[in-house]
Amino acid sequence: MTETRNDQTNALSAARSARPHEFQALILSSFGGPEGQEDVIPFLRNVTRGRGIPDERLEEVATHYRANGGVSPINAQNRALRDALEAELARRGIELPVLLANRNWDPYVADVLRECHERGYTDLLVMATSAYSGYSSCRQYREDYGVGLEETGLQDVMHVEKIRQYYDSEGFLRPYARNLRDSLQALRSRTDGGLRVLFTTHSVPMTDANAAGPQRMAFERDSAYVAQHLAAARWIVEQVGEEMADVEWELVYQSRSGPPSTPWLEPDICDVIESLPEQGVTGVAVVPLGFVSDHMEVMWDLDTEARDAAAEAQLEFERIPTAGTDPEFVAALVDLVEQRLGTPTAPPRVSACSRGTWFDECAPDCCVKVLHGRDEPRPTIAQRPQGEPIPVDLDTDGGVVLR
């Protein structure tokens, strides 16, 4: 039975893979962030472009960055990850330059595409600093490059693909499991009461959550975004083992924005923390599962607001680190690169917590978003041709994706 299941898993992962390609450069693509106080408002204008939000309201969010000198930690973290990727690629004998590109701040995607063209790189592989499916976490990155190619006029001379979502990569998940085990032990050294584990990720509007993933497929809680987080959390809990005995866990959300009238994913992490004492909980471990580095939304929403909420509720508090540049995570990312290059040493495509790995080329209706005032879809890379069938030929996909 196990052999049959593994054969099915391998077949599904293979069906979702693109052909290997000889890429000339890897682009680590991220959200971006300000580099100084004078950058903060212009950066936030970029983030909220088209939404008509006045600078006075942006200044409310700006306080998070201003408290850190106007510098987003994501920039240094991405540079460190780039350096770690370059070192691991070199260690494996793979000559592949790694560049940085951002959605909302310098270096912008279009500028990096121009730079690549000037350097003679016409076959590019994009790796996003986001592990899950969803509009802002996957499709918008694919749109960034589709729009960038059109803006630069390079769409007919450059070939750009994107690495799949890697929420189910063991090398991404294992650091969370290891650090959660340590955090639970630390909590038990400070309290003999009940403990709770909160896996947290960025809240998104319900419309975006429900549109995550191909629309012809059904998902747990009607969302690929939610289902993937739940699958990842279950795997981590299983790996932690006996330290999770008698410890309940749940998936919570943070960092919501927008008008209160718009439904977003809930519950909010601070609301949950406030309710824990009445449940007999005296210690809480927070796992920022939805993030790959300790950027501003981790530092502010968790290390400040969630920690303050725990102190108000008289709870012992532990926040485990994100994957960052953990060697296991870096190695896993380079594994993904090798798979797309088709190197002789490329490891097999394996999902730690689902039946098959995610798609290299997404369906046209995957993670769609309808924006006010825009009827035409934006150009998008890494997309299957319209009408081409989605390779889902099993009855279930690890309990997460259903036909």
pLDDT digits (tens, 9 = 90+) for 32-49: 999 999 999 999 999 988
Q: Report how many domains make up the chain.
A: 2
> Nearest CA to 349 among 4, 12, 5?
12
Yes or no: say if 101 and 109 are a contact pair by the CB < 8 Å rule. yes
Q: 361 and 236 in one domain?
A: no
Determine, yes or no, domain membership for 299.
yes
Q: 177 and 52 in one domain?
A: no
What is the Cα–Cα distance from 166 to 374, expressed in whole angstroms?
A: 30
Yes or no: say if 187 and 281 are a contact pair by the CB < 8 Å rule. no
Q: 156 and 42 in one domain?
A: yes
Domain final position from 297, 319, 341: 319
> Nearest CA to 303 among 321, 291, 282?
321
Determine, yes or no, domain membership for 396.
no
* Boundaries of domain holding 129: 2-167+326-391
Q: 72 and 212 in one domain?
A: no
Determine, yes or no, domain membership for 399.
no
Q: 158 and 189 in one domain?
A: no
The strands making up 194-202's β-sheet, listed across from edge to edge, are 248-254, 194-202, 281-287, 316-319
pTM: predicted TM-score of the whole model, two decimal places: 0.94
Q: What is the pLDDT of residues 280-326, one digit of tens each?
A: 999 999 999 999 999 999 999 999 999 999 999 999 999 999 999 99
Determine, yes or no, domain membership for 362.
yes
Percent helix / strand / coil, the chain, rounded to 5: 45, 15, 40
Yes or no: say if 164 and 14 are a contact pair by the CB < 8 Å rule. no
For residue 203, pLDDT over 80 is answered with yes
Q: 159 and 192 in one domain?
A: no
Q: 333 and 294 in one domain?
A: no
pLDDT of residue 205: 94
Domain final position from 292, 319, 346: 319
Determine, yes or no, domain membership for 398.
no
Q: What is the pLDDT of residues 139-167, one digit of tens each?
A: 999 999 999 999 999 999 999 999 999 99
The CATH number covering residue 62 comes to 3.40.50.1400
